[in-house]
């Protein structure tokens, strides 16, 4: 009996540890950015990604439209509505590794998919995704996470 108690305690600790990893949540930040070539203004809240925006996209103006913090759980889609419900942004945590989260990103306009992709996101890093065209530019999605 004296040997069984430490074994049960050890197994309980391991169970709790692996359960927390398996059912872990990822705190994600989604920024929706409007990029255009009209003017040369950069929203002050985008200073941390301005260099990346400039190197990946050939626009001169970047304006933050939306900044959301989301808590993602494995295989549970989280949806955000934009433009009076005409645009739906859906994010799903597909898999969580030690230092990488696999996310599925889907954007639908009036019920039709306009973007459907998967990304790998590391803690503290930002991934930029070029999205749909708008009148005088494009929408860019900036995703970052902590876990």
62 touches 50 (CB < 8 A): yes
Task: Report pLDDT digits (tens) over 58-74.
Answer: 999 999 999 999 999 99
Mean of pLDDT over the chain: 87
Q: How far is Cα 53 from Cα 140, in angstroms, rounded to an integer?
A: 9
Which residues have CB under 8 Å from 18's CB, separation 6+? none
pLDDT tens by residue, 84-107: 778 899 999 999 988 899 999 999
Neighbours of 59 (CB within 10 A): 20
Q: What is the pTM of this model?
A: 0.80
Domain boundaries in the chain?
A: 25-146
């Amino acid at each position: 009996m004296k040997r069984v108690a430490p074994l049960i305690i050890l197994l309980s600790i391991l169970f709790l540890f692996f359960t927390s990893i398996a059912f872990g949540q990822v705190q994600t930040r989604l920024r929706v950015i409007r990029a255009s070539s009209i003017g040369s203004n950069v929203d002050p809240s985008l200073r941390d990604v301005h260099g990346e925006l400039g190197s990946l996209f050939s626009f001169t103006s970047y304006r933050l439209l939306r900044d959301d913090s989301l808590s993602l759980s494995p295989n549970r889609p989280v949806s955000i509505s934009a433009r009076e419900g005409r645009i739906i942004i859906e994010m799903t945590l597909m898999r969580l590794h030690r230092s990488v989260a696999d996310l599925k990103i889907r954007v639908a306009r009036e019920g039709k998919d306009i973007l459907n992709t998967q990304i790998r996101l590391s803690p503290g890093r930002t991934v930029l995704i070029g999205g749909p065209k708008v009148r005088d530019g494009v929408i860019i999605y900036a995703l970052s996470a902590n876990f």
